């Protein structure tokens, strides 16, 4: 009898321990008692009622889930409209597969996720497919194939989040990436040739823009250089002119003072200047004093050298 009682006590103790749960870091728990949510404990040890009365569901809130939506490369596509095959705005078919990353939110979002766990992936899949159809139908096939991988990465997450918001799934779409984007196999070679040609055109356009920018930059540099040279030359000529004007005014004032005492001072200045000029011309080989041809009246005879002809 005592042995039976001990067994019963052990069973009851084991049953009571089913109400103890460990919530790990990065997890949130939702405790449902007879189906009604009664607690939402964080990391640590939770002690509640045994199994059958309390149900503890732990949710990793720091974990990012990934879901693939759309076309499956390599799968059997003998269907009238395979999954992920969409019609563009200019009536062409493309195959699209994307990967959607989502995580569970905080607070009441954890409860929403637990209550809607079975509906999360189907709802995200339908919302993503609808958003993809919307974007593909609004663009031509060239834009879809050339820009889709970049633009969908930015456009898709907020659009999918907006579509699933009314369902209160408790998840937040983090990001999206295009895994596969291409034309159907029947026309894929033709589209690849078109894309190669378009890529070459874009390359040449970019090269032309870069060359234009380089030439414009060089032209601006040359214009700045010539502007600075012209400004420097003008400043130099201005300083020289001012210096010559000041020297002339000083010389004029000196002449006016000397004229009162010596009326022939102007002639003296004239011959002094002529002496400087003739000396400079002689040093340059432009004149030569012919002393051997001095006349009886004592007058100097000068001969100006002819300018040298330029060689052709």
pLDDT bin (cut points 50, 70, 90) of residue 301 is: very low
The reply to whether 301 and 250 lie within a common domain is: no
Question: What would the pLDDT profile of 37-55 be if each residue is shown by its tens digit?
Answer: 666 676 666 556 566 566 7
Q: Please say which residue of 160, 185, 210 terminates a domain.
A: 185
The reply to whether 133 and 169 lie within a common domain is: yes
The reply to whether 124 and 229 lie within a common domain is: no
Question: What would the pLDDT profile of 222-231 be if each residue is shown by its tens digit?
Answer: 999 999 999 9
pLDDT bin (cut points 50, 70, 90) of residue 242 is: very high
pLDDT bin (cut points 50, 70, 90) of residue 218 is: very high
Q: What is the total count of domains within the chain?
A: 4
The reply to whether 72 and 144 lie within a common domain is: yes
Position 299 scores a pLDDT of 45
Q: What percent of the chain has pLDDT over 70?
A: 71
Tell me if 172 sits within 8 A of 157, measured CB to CB: no
Where does residue 180 fall: left (phi above 0), alpha (psi -120 to 50 degrees), or beta otherwise? Answer: beta
More confident residue, 282 or 308: 282
Is the confidence at residue 203, as pLDDT, over 80?
Answer: yes
Q: How far apart are CA 24 and CA 22, in angstroms?
A: 6
| Structural domain for 162, as ranges | 65-185
The reply to whether 170 and 91 lie within a common domain is: yes
The reply to whether 13 and 47 lie within a common domain is: yes
Question: What would the pLDDT profile of 1-41 be if each residue is shown by its tens digit?
Answer: 667 666 766 665 565 555 556 666 767 766 776 666 666 67
More confident residue, 160 or 20: 160
In this structure, of 73-87, 211-225, 246-260, 287-301, the range with the lowest mean pLDDT score is 287-301
The reply to whether 173 and 96 lie within a common domain is: yes
The reply to whether 94 and 139 lie within a common domain is: yes
Question: How many helices (H) does the chain have, and how many strands (E)?
Answer: 6, 11
Position 99 scores a pLDDT of 95
The reply to whether 108 and 159 lie within a common domain is: yes
Q: Is 100 helix (H, G, I), strand (E, B) or coil?
A: strand
Helical ranges in 75-187 per DSSP H: 108-115, 117-137, 141-164
More confident residue, 36 or 62: 62
The reply to whether 42 and 15 lie within a common domain is: yes
Q: Please say which residue of 132, 150, 185 terminates a domain.
A: 185
Q: Average pLDDT for residues 70-81, to the nearest whole number?
A: 68
Position 240 scores a pLDDT of 92
Q: How far apart are CA 83 and CA 123, in angstroms?
A: 16
Q: How far apart are CA 134 and CA 69, in angstroms?
A: 15
Position 48 scores a pLDDT of 60
The reply to whether 157 and 76 lie within a common domain is: yes
Q: E strand or H helix at 173, and its extent?
A: strand 171-182
Q: What's the whole-number average pLDDT of the chain? A: 79
Q: Please say which residue of 143, 170, 185 terminates a domain.
A: 185
The reply to whether 224 and 311 lie within a common domain is: no
What angle is formed at CA 213 by the lines to CA 212 and CA 218, rounded to 5 degrees?
100
Q: How far apart are CA 240 and CA 232, in angstroms?
A: 12
Pairing type for strands 85-87 and 54-60 reads: unpaired
Is the confidence at residue 115, as pLDDT, over 80?
Answer: yes
CATH code (residue 140): 3.30.479.30
Position 58 scores a pLDDT of 73
CB crowding 215-225: b at 16 or more within 10 Å, else e:
eeeeeeeeeee
Position 178 scores a pLDDT of 93
In this structure, of 99-103, 123-127, 166-170, 271-275, the range with the lowest mean pLDDT score is 271-275
Q: Is the pTM of this model over 0.85?
A: no
């Amino acid at each position: 009898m005592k042995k039976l009682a001990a067994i019963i006590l052990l069973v009851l103790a084991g049953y009571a321990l089913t109400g103890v749960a460990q919530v790990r870091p990065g997890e949130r728990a939702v405790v449902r008692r007879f189906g009604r949510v009664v607690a939402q404990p964080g990391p640590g040890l939770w002690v509640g009622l045994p199994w059958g009365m309390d149900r503890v569901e732990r949710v990793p809130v720091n974990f990012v889930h990934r879901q693939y939506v759309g076309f499956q490369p390599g799968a059997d596509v003998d269907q009238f409209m395979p999954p992920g095959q969409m019609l563009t705005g200019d009536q062409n078919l493309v195959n699209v597969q994307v990967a959607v990353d989502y995580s569970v939110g905080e607070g009441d979002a954890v409860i929403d996720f637990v209550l809607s766990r079975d509906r999360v992936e189907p709802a995200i899949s339908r919302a993503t497919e609808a958003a993809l159809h919307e974007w593909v139908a609004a663009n031509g096939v060239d834009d879809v194939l050339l820009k889709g991988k970049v633009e969908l990465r930015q456009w898709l997450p907020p659009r999918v989040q907006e579509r699933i918001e009314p369902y209160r799934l408790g998840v937040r779409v983090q990001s999206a990436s295009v895994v596969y984007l291409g034309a159907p196999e029947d026309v894929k070679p033709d589209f690849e040739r078109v894309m190669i040609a378009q890529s070459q055109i874009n390359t040449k356009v970019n090269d032309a823009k870069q060359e234009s920018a380089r030439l414009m930059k060089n032209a601006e540099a040359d214009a700045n250089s010539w502007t600075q040279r012209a400004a420097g030359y003008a400043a130099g000529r201005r300083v020289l002119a001012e210096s010559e004007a000041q020297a002339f005014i000083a010389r004029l004032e000196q002449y006016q003072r000397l004229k009162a005492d010596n009326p022939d001072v102007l002639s003296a200045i004239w011959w002094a200047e002529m002496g400087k000029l003739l000396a400079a011309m002689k040093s340059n080989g432009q004149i030569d004093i012919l002393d051997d041809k001095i006349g009886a009246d004592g007058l100097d005879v000068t001969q100006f050298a002819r300018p040298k002809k330029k060689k052709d």
